[in-house]
Each structure stands twice: as C-alpha cells, then as structure tokens.
Structure 1
Amino acid sequence: MITEQDKALLAKKGITEDELQKQLDCFRKGFPYLELASAASTQKGILVVDGKEQVYLDAWNNYLSSNKKIVKFVPASGAASRMFKDLFEFLDAPYDIPTTPFEDKFFDELSQFAFYEDLDEACLKHSHKNIAHLLKEGKYKSIVGNLLEPYGLKYGDLPKGLLKFHRYDGFSRTPVEEHLKEGYLYACNSKGEVNIHFTVSPEHRKEFQKLINEKVPLVEAELKVAYDVTFSEQKSSTDTVAADSNNEPFRENGELLFRPGGHGALIENLNDLNADIVFIKNIDNTVPDKFKETETKYKKILAGVLVSTQKKIFEYLKLLDSGRYTHDELLEILHFLQNVLNIKNPETKLLEDAELVLYLKRKLDRPSRVCGMVKNVGEPGGGPFLAENSDGTISPQILESSQIDMDDPTKKRMFSEGTHFNPVDLVCGIKDYRGRTFNLKDFVDENTGFISIKSKNGKKLKALELPGLWNGAMSDWNTIFVEVPIETFNPVKTINDLLRKHHLNV
C-alpha cells in the first residue's frame, strides 16, 4: 500500500511508483545466474601485449595530440570506515594491549604511516601526551581514539580520498592528490589540459572541494598544466528501496527506507560526462611517485588498445553504412568480432548477407572498454569470463561470485579455476563513430543486480544492489581484457595495506 507520504518521498527522490514496484518485484523474483561458457584466460579471451607495447603506447600518444576530450573518472564516495574495521574492534575489545597479528603490526610500524605527525599532534592536544609516551604507558586505545574518533583526526568518518596515504620528503599526499598527478602522467592532452572527475558523497563534497582548491594551483604551477576538476554525487533517483523478510517495503517510523544502489548507480554519473575517452580507477588504488612508472605505462597501453580497436570499429561501421561492401569484407568484420572482441554466435553461419550486416552493426555500434586484468593471487574481486547473453551470443563479461550459481559444480569449477581477477582498471570509449555520445543506460543488463542481507537498528532487511558499474551496467559494451602486471594493483582495503612496499615511499 503506497501512502501519500510515500508518494511525496518518491517525488522528492525522482523515483516513479512503477520503478518502486519493479524494485520490489526484484526481491520477490530474485535475479537469474549468468550462464558461463568459460573463465577467460590468456589462451582464450585475455590479450597479452608482450612485444607490442610500443605499438599501443604510440597509438595512445598519437591520440593525445588529437582534439579529443579525455577524462579520468574516480569513484571516491566510499567511506573509510571498513579500512579501520580491525581498529574499531580493538577499541571495543575487552583487552587494552595489542593482541592480534593485525594490531601488533599496526603499532609496531605506526611511525611509517603518512599521518603519523598529524596523529602525534592530535594525541598531544587531546591526551596531553605524544605517541611515544602513550605507547610507553600502554595507552594504545588512546592513540586509536585520536586517529578514528571525531575529537581527533576523525579518520573513521572520512572517505578514503581525504586520508593521508603516502609520505614524501617534508609533506604527505592524499589519494586525491595522487590521482591529480596520475592524470597528468597519462591523460594530459597536447594542450596541457587534464580533466578529472570525482564522484563524492554529499556530506564530504565541501572537504573535497577545499582540498582541490588548495592543491590544484600548486600542482598546475609545478607541472605547467591546467586542471579541470569536477565533482558529482550519486543521484537519489538511483537509490533502491529496502525490503523486509516478506519482500514488502521496509519501513522505519512508517517511512520507506531507501539505500544507495551501489557503484552501479554511477553509470548515471558516467553518462553525464562529455568525453571521448574515460579512464576509470578506484580512489584507493594509487601509489607514490617512485612506483608510478609501471602504472603509467600500462594505463597508456590499455588506452592504446582501446583507440586502436575503436578506430577499426569505426572504419567497419562506416563501410557497412555505405552499403559498398563485399561478402569477403563482411567475413573480415565477422572475424574481427569473433577474434578481437571475442563475441561468438554459432548462428551467424546461417545468416544471409543482409541479416549479417544488421547483426554486425548491432554488435559494433556500442560503447567500448578495455579492462586490465591481473593474475589471481588471492585478492578479492570479480573475474573475467566468457558468458552467454540473452540473445544467445557469448561475450567477455566481468562477473562477481554472486552472479554465478555456485551450486552447479561445473560453474563453481570455472570460477575457482579462473586465472585472473578484475582490479577495476578500465579505459572506455563512450562516443559512437558519428561523434555522438552513447546513452549508456541503454546498455545495462537489468537482470544482473543482486540482493544482500543488511540490518538497520537491529532489524534484518534485504538490500537491492543495482547492476555493478563494471559488471551488469556495462554488460552490453564491447569488451577487451588485457593482462597487466600485479604491480599496477595496489588497493587499500585495510589500514595496514599502507604498510605494503608500494605504499611506502622509502
């Protein structure tokens, strides 16, 4: 039963009653698992660029000299609270001294963190003793409180982008600042312009803007370039309603409870960009300058693969549009579709030329993306697969375990035997061969969301996640997987990850 109060809330959020009903139907019907053909590998579905690096580097450098708009898109709205899960648990623990290996490592190497000096000042101000004295007296929880709580550095409430990650000689940098430098290294055009877009949460937008206002003039003066840094927030129209155990709307004090729809909601923000090429990379996956060389090289290689492939796609589409093609040329395009884009369709051999043209145009005239894939070393994350689409074709897809039927031994084996995983390292082409921007929402597979169990004030609820940004939200894109070295993937999932080699600038 939808009340007048519900209707007012829906109108405020920009969600229609039909959309609300569709969301509730998802809870009742669930989502189908995807059919897998196989895990992608370097033998099938993942491109290895060994020996061709310079070809792709040259392709990207040539593209940078063209009058195209390149944007670096950084999802940065995630809170850092999960980074500090172990330290929050320490604060609540019945013991007062480090006990677990994680706690021991944190305190043993505390001086290595880029925020150490700030934390020392906070301890002096609020606990009236510096870190060394607090450690000597066994007041470990005072140190953690000064790091996480609002009276101190409030790191437990801030987004990752605003935390000090890396120490340099005499200063430190946040991930936001590292991404400014990255943008210069691989996305600066011949005019010296660097475009970076951060998606942020509303409550932290002012702090992001303040940091950018402080740092950008300094970086521009140092690098002799011009930055255009923009922000957007996840749209409230992409929020999803929560459901109770009976799949009815979950209410809190009589009001419908909505939750953010997950990173898949950011397809809306990406769709609003005016850009030819977009780099996508998470806020926490960044390194100090001394480790940026390998990262920069492979970002350029991924971009070179994209623009080279896109150039061929555009040539083929123009040929098909002209109507002046031969049967052999159609077979050449089909070969490209099957062996470069890894799109398979056993029915194509039954198609007449006119039908084949329509099929080729439909498959080519779509957004394109090149996705870096690293060898699986046990890190969490989705993986590259060749999966079956609703039209019966097979194409490259990035899948999470929740999208795969783990009760099916064959599917479970495919998942477990995957050789690579997705580090969220994408370069995207979002304009067509006519120069028009695609409506990215047209290429989302709505059947690839998933449902998770959460709680609110002690009550269990079901949460609806939209198709993930690099999963179902890009399901109907042309996709190429490229193997990249593990050195390009340096996420910070826990605070102690900042103690790994590639985050220590020593």
Structure 2
Amino acid sequence: MLNAHDLEQLAAKGISKHQIEEQLAHFAKGFPFLEIVASASVEKGIKVIPKELQAFYMEAWDKYLSKNHRIVKFVPASGAASRMFKDLYAFLSSEATEPDTPAVKEFFRDITRFAFYHLLNAKCLENEKKSISSLIAAGQYKEVVSNLLEPKGLDYGQLPKGLLLFHNYPGKTRTAMEEHLAEGARYAKNHTGEVNIHFTVSPEHQEQFQQLVAEKKSVYEEKYSVEYDITFSVQKTNTDTIAVDMENRPFREHDGSLLFRPGGHGALIQNLNDIEADVIFIKNIDNVVPDSFKFATVIHKKIIAGVLVHLQERIFRYLHLIESGKYSRTQVEEMIYFLQDELCIRNPEIKYLEDAELILYIKDKLARPIRVCGMVRNVGEPGGGPFLATNPDGTISLQILESSQIDMRDPIKKKLFNEGTHFNPVDLVCAVRDHKGKKYNLPHYIDKNTGFISQKSKDGKDLKALELPGLWNGAMSDWTTLFVEVPVETFNPVKTVNDLLRPEHQ
C-alpha cells in the first residue's frame, strides 16, 4: 500500500510506518464509544469550594508562588478566526445588498463598539476613499465587510484570534494575546516577578505574534511590574494524520503523494510535554475579558491552583509513605478511600487484590500527572462535559468527553449525557512532575482509542480525516483528575464576532 515515495514522505515528516499502520487500522475499525457510568455533578465528581475555604486555597497558591517553582501559562492560539465571521462571509457571497440576517444586522448596528472599528475605518478610507459611516449611508455594506476580512484590508478572516483587537480601553485597544499577558501577571507571577507564557501558533503567523510581543511586552512589564518570558511553538509535523478515501485507502494528491492533515488540538500534548515547568495553566486564546471583568477569573484561577498544589502535597505524602514501606493497614485504607471518595477512582476488582497487588494499584493511580479542571454550570454553551467513565484497565474515573465519544443511539447513555449539569470551559491547571521532581512523559498517558474520524473533502473528492485524542480528552485520559465548579463569569469565549458586543467584552 505504501511505495518508496510514500516512505520518503513519511521520513521527511518524522512519521513512522508503524504510526501510519495504526492510523489506517483506526479508519478500518473506527473508535469505540466510551462507556459512561454517570455525568459528573456536585453530588458526585465536581467539588464545590465553599466561600469560607476559598481564602485557604488562594493562600496555598500564593505560598507556592513564593517558592522556587516554575509556572507556565499555556495558550493554544493557532486556529484561524475565519469561523468567527461565518455570517459575514455568507453575506459577502450572497446576492443581498443590505444586511439580511439578525447577525449581520447586529454587526452593522453596533459596528462602532468593536475594538477594531477605528483600524477598519482607516482601511476603508485608504481603499474605498470613504469612511465606514459613508459606505453604510451609500448602501456599500459589502465594501466594509471585505475590508474587514480580506487581505486588502485587516485580513481578519485569515488571522488567528490572538492577533485580533478584542477590547477597547480609554485611548487604546487590546488584542486577545495582550489580554493573556495581563491575565497571567495576576495569578502566574513567581517569586522573582517572572511570568512565563507559551503560545502554540501556526508557522505562517509566528512572526506576527513575535512582532506584537516586541511592541507590547515592555508596556505590560511596566504596568504590572513583571518580567515576561514569552515563547512560541508550532504543531509538530509528525503529529499530522493521514487522510483516506471512502474505502479507507490512503488519499492521494494529484501528484500521487499522500495527503496529511493536522491532528487536531490533541497533537498539542507533544508541545505541552516540551514545556519545562512544575505547574501549567491551560486556557483557550478567545476566553479573555477586559480588566474590569478579570476579578472573578483571577480569584478562581488562584483557587483551582491552590486545590492542585494541596492535592499534590497529599499525593506526594502517600507516595513517599508507600516507598518507605512503613505504612499501616489504616493508612492503606485511608489511601483507598482517598482514591474512591476524593478522586472518584473506582476499581470493581479491588476486593480481589492481594496486599502487594493493592499497594501497586494505589501507587499506579497516584504516580501520574495531575490536573484540576474548572467546570461551569450548563448555560447552553457548546462543549464537552465531565463524566465518570470506564477506562481501558476496567477502573472508573473522571473524564472530559465530547458528545462524539458517547453512543447517543443508546437511550441510557443519551439520558446520562442530557442530564449533565456542567460543561468543560477549558480551564485547567496541571502538575507535571512526580514526587521526586522528575517530569512525567505526558504522551505515555494518552488513551489512543479516543480519537475521532470526520468526513471532509479535497478538490471535490470525499475523504476521511482522523483527529488525535483531544488535548483535555483522551490525551489526558490517564491523568489524576479533579473537577472544581467555577462560576459562569469565568467563561467568556468569542465564537462569533458579535460575541465581542456582549457586556463582558465591552
């Protein structure tokens, strides 16, 4: 199936023949649905931090920051913003000459409220010799849209969200990337005043990100009395996945070469694995707010980070105890209850384990990367959710799942999914070193059977594409996981351009 030219192509991308064989097998067999036991809830699986304990966890985080630990804020920022402008693209390609949908009408009605308004107005004056207001008065709505989206103007349709102007401030504006700099200074500043932020970007936009950093870094360093270490990485080519035709044969380009596609955000586990840190915050590029709304975000970021380091201390204590060999039966029982009650890890076979096997099982479940994930109550926003699911080893644990991983044809599973009270806003804080200070090899903890197959097309031909296990889904399947409820005020994503008109973005 693979010829000499194919093998050369694989070698150039750093992909092994074995990887391709695995991917082709996934296309042939598909991915199994995950067996869910229940939706996680505040009754089982989602921790609610009472107000009287919030200060305790914030102090735990501040204490951790005061010591010699490396903290990194990790922001996936490579996706193009084109989907933000779906309604405007539809208007641009339609026969309509005036706004004809609620979304496009809202865009033009409130156009002066967007942070990019003055920049767009300048482009319209340059290219059309008219201001935005003059173009609208003349019924030239599409000229305004084309200057926003196309290369002759701001080119926002092709830029990543991180480079778009999101928010207005007196006398200035901020991009989404700048908001992450401002946010990181508030909860990720270490004892020396350093703030480490890492953005994953697409290769074609890395230079623009670096240029923006060069222009703005010193401004925010002075404003927040910090020193930034801002780094970038791109998705690795060896995480691309092969595409196949509808008969599951490798899809070939016109020149006969194999077609590869990006493996989705799950590929970023490799980038995350390259980060040298003790604790890593993960948050999407578009979930930011202006300074006037950051209070809730900062408070709850510190709380979940405090929960993480408090949890890590207890886990490390148990691991040192196990390795000392000086533990009592009571302490073993305490560890079992900790796994079951605090971490919601269940093992149906635990009663059959001999003493030595039991200790090995406990150690195996404790000696893993740790993540604490904020969970927001359902308010109709799309996204994966928190569940109790069965793992490949037969144990049950907390997992973040997408609807595509659940068999919705099964009425029981569909009911469990629909009963979910919370969803995943991508608000994670991770501890990636073991109790001896050695960094975990994160790809070791991926469940490879949690990928996803979708149908796409290329040059008019149908094809199938394979996405790797999602970064916070199957890529972290075998991590120690704790869910903590966070308020909906901490979740303010920008999925469409009109989301920028919401009060929390004004």
Question: Which bin holds the TM-score, normalised by the shorter protein?
Answer: over 0.9
CA displacement at 1:114 relative to structure 2: 0.0
> Which of 473, 476, 490 does residue 474 from structure 1 map onto?
476
Whole-angstrom CA distance in 2 between matches of 1:503 and 1:223: 21
- 2:69 counterpart of 1:68: yes
Q: Which amino acid aligns with 2:71?
A: I
In the TM superposition, what whole-angstrom CA distance separates every residue of 1:186-217 from its partner, at most 9, and x where no partner exists? 00011101000000000000000000011111
Q: What residue in structure 2 maps to residue 439 of structure 1?
A: 441
Whole-angstrom CA distance in 1 between matches of 2:484 and 2:37: 19
- 2:307 counterpart of 1:280: no
Q: Which amino acid aligns with 1:49?
A: I
- 2:342 counterpart of 1:340: yes
Q: Which amino acid aligns with 1:495?
A: V
Whole-angstrom CA distance in 2 between matches of 1:491 and 1:67: 33
- 2:26 counterpart of 1:26: yes
Q: What residue in structure 2 maps to residue 8 of structure 1?
A: 8
- 2:295 counterpart of 1:331: no
Task: Tell me the number of residue pairs that the alignment of Structure 1 and Structure 2 aligns.
Answer: 504
In the TM superposition, what whole-angstrom CA distance separates every residue of 1:248-280 from its partner, at most 9, and x where no partner exists? 001111111000000000000000011000000
Q: What residue in structure 1 maps to residue 321 of structure 2?
A: 319
Contact 1:33 1:403 in 2 (8 A): yes
Whole-angstrom CA distance in 2 between matches of 1:457 and 1:139: 33
Whole-angstrom CA distance in 2 between matches of 1:483 and 1:189: 25
CA displacement at 1:351 relative to structure 2: 2.1
Whole-angstrom CA distance in 2 between matches of 1:353 and 1:189: 43
SS at match of 2:87: helix
**Residues 24-423 of structure 1 correspond to what in structure 2 (within 5 A)?**
24-51=24-51, 52-253=53-254, 254-423=256-425
In the TM superposition, what whole-angstrom CA distance separates every residue of 1:278-304 from its partner, at most 9, and x where no partner exists? 000000000000000100000000100
In the TM superposition, what whole-angstrom CA distance separates every residue of 1:476-503 from its partner, at most 9, and x where no partner exists? 0000000000000000111001011110
CA displacement at 1:349 relative to structure 2: 2.3
Whole-angstrom CA distance in 2 between matches of 1:396 and 1:226: 37
Whole-angstrom CA distance in 2 between matches of 1:62 and 1:134: 56
Unaligned runs of 5+ in 2: none
Deviation beyond 3 Å, 4+ runs, structure 1:
none
Whole-angstrom CA distance in 1 between matches of 2:387 and 2:129: 56
In the TM superposition, what whole-angstrom CA distance separates every residue of 1:154-205 from its partner, at most 9, and x where no partner exists? 0001000000000100110001100001110000011101000000000000
Higher alpha-carbon deviation: 422-431 or 347-356: 347-356
CA displacement at 1:460 relative to structure 2: 1.2
Contact 1:80 1:160 in 2 (8 A): yes
Q: Which amino acid aligns with 2:109?
A: D
TM-score (norm 2): 0.99
In the TM superposition, what whole-angstrom CA distance separates every residue of 1:63-91 from its partner, at most 9, and x where no partner exists? 01110000000000000011111100000
Higher alpha-carbon deviation: 346-355 or 157-166: 346-355
CA displacement at 1:2 relative to structure 2: 1.3
Q: Which amino acid aligns with 1:223?
A: Y
Whole-angstrom CA distance in 1 between matches of 2:349 and 2:257: 51
CA displacement at 1:352 relative to structure 2: 2.6
SS at match of 2:192: coil
Whole-angstrom CA distance in 1 between matches of 2:193 and 2:159: 32
SS at match of 2:345: coil
SS at match of 1:295: helix
Whole-angstrom CA distance in 1 between matches of 2:267 and 2:357: 35
Unaligned runs of 5+ in 1: none
Contact 1:164 1:172 in 2 (8 A): yes
Contact 1:327 1:353 in 2 (8 A): no
Whole-angstrom CA distance in 2 between matches of 1:483 and 1:166: 27
In the TM superposition, what whole-angstrom CA distance separates every residue of 1:291-319 from its partner, at most 9, and x where no partner exists? 00100000000100100000000000000
Whole-angstrom CA distance in 1 between matches of 2:332 and 2:440: 25
SS at match of 1:336: helix
CA displacement at 1:322 relative to structure 2: 0.3
Whole-angstrom CA distance in 2 between matches of 1:430 and 1:100: 48
Q: Which amino acid aligns with 2:395?
A: T
In the TM superposition, what whole-angstrom CA distance separates every residue of 1:359-395 from its partner, at most 9, and x where no partner exists? 0000000000000000011100000000001111100
Whole-angstrom CA distance in 2 between matches of 1:16 and 1:346: 38
Contact 1:96 1:141 in 2 (8 A): yes
TM-score (norm 1): 0.99
Whole-angstrom CA distance in 2 between matches of 1:397 and 1:104: 41
C-alpha RMSD of matched pairs (Å)? 0.7
Whole-angstrom CA distance in 2 between matches of 1:222 and 1:104: 38
Identity of aligned residues (%): 62
Whole-angstrom CA distance in 1 between matches of 2:174 and 2:2: 49
Q: Which amino acid aligns with 1:60?
A: W
Whole-angstrom CA distance in 2 between matches of 1:342 and 1:157: 43
Whole-angstrom CA distance in 1 between matches of 2:381 and 2:462: 29
SS at match of 1:304: helix
SS at match of 2:298: helix
Whole-angstrom CA distance in 1 between matches of 2:343 and 2:65: 24
